[in-house]
A and B are shown apart, each in its own frame.
Chain A
Amino acid sequence: MNDTNIQYVFKITVIGDSAVGKTSLIKQYTQASFENDYISTIGAQFSIYNEKIDGDNCKLFFWDLAGQKEFNLLRSQFYRESKAAIIVYSLEENNLGIESFKHLSEWYKEIKNHCGEIPVIIFANKVDLIDEDNLDDSEIQNLIKKNNFIGVYRTSAKTGKGVTDAFQKIIKVLLTQYKNKI
């Protein structure tokens, strides 16, 4: 099968509470840029990114779904046919950070309802705003074990730290899964 020209197309959904940095993470990964001003996503936003991973041509469709409650109904339409999901929460030590962590299970429930059992990865974003040495990972690790998530990656959309590794992890899982099927 060496002369085949296989291209891998993956639709990946990115969800999580509003203002945790979903759009910025995608922008950092696909364009290597960051904007300081926060502009909340209206409904949904999508990005196409072509990347060669371990010699495989991948076309990635990232669906960035607005976290606000007013988009609940609209959001459900975009889950369909997703191959994987990224749930983002914020590591900020404030209300937004605490709430976004608490809501991880709810976001996962929503994915499961619409997509069934697809690979799910957690991005713990805004790592640049905290002292990593004081971070207690036990709660998130329990959640990962309990729900069989791929793992948790600490990211910073602002500095770019961990972003490429985190995105590539989920893509590599999808590639392996796809190749095992064919």
Chain B
Amino acid sequence: MTEEWPYVSNKDQYVMNLEKDLKKIKSQLYQTLINANKTVNQNQKLQDQLNQCQIENAKLKLQIEDLIK
């Protein structure tokens, strides 16, 4: 007998590999989700800033128009 101990059948090895892959995929998914969340937060913040700038811009335009009159 030249079997190594602990003996792992091909089927067991296959399941072990699948479990390992699943763990890896889950970890990658979580990382992707965390990054996506950061992007969403940034997007929301930037849009807020852009809205503020647009409002300011519109106000300034009105003031310029008044001054020209």
When distances are taken between beta carbons in the complex, the residues of chain B under 8 Å from A11 are 40-41, 44
Query: Are A1 and B59 in contact (CB-based, < 8 A)?
Result: yes
Cβ of A108 within 8 Å of any chain B Cβ, yes or no, is: no
Q: Which of A1-17 contact B (CB under 8 A)?
A: 1-11
Cβ of B57 within 8 Å of any chain A Cβ, yes or no, is: yes
The dominant DSSP class at the B interface is: helix
Residue B37 contacts which of A4, A9, A63, A83 (CB distance < 8 angstroms)? Answer: A63
Nearest neighbor of B36 in chain A, beta-carbon distance: A46
When distances are taken between beta carbons in the complex, the residues of chain B under 8 Å from A63 are 37, 40
When distances are taken between beta carbons in the complex, the residues of chain A under 8 Å from B47 are 7-9, 59
Q: Which of B5-62 contact A (CB under 8 A)?
A: 26, 29-30, 33-34, 36-37, 40-41, 43-45, 47-48, 50-52, 54-55, 57-59, 61
Residue A4 contacts which of B41, B45, B48, B57 (CB distance < 8 angstroms)? Answer: B57
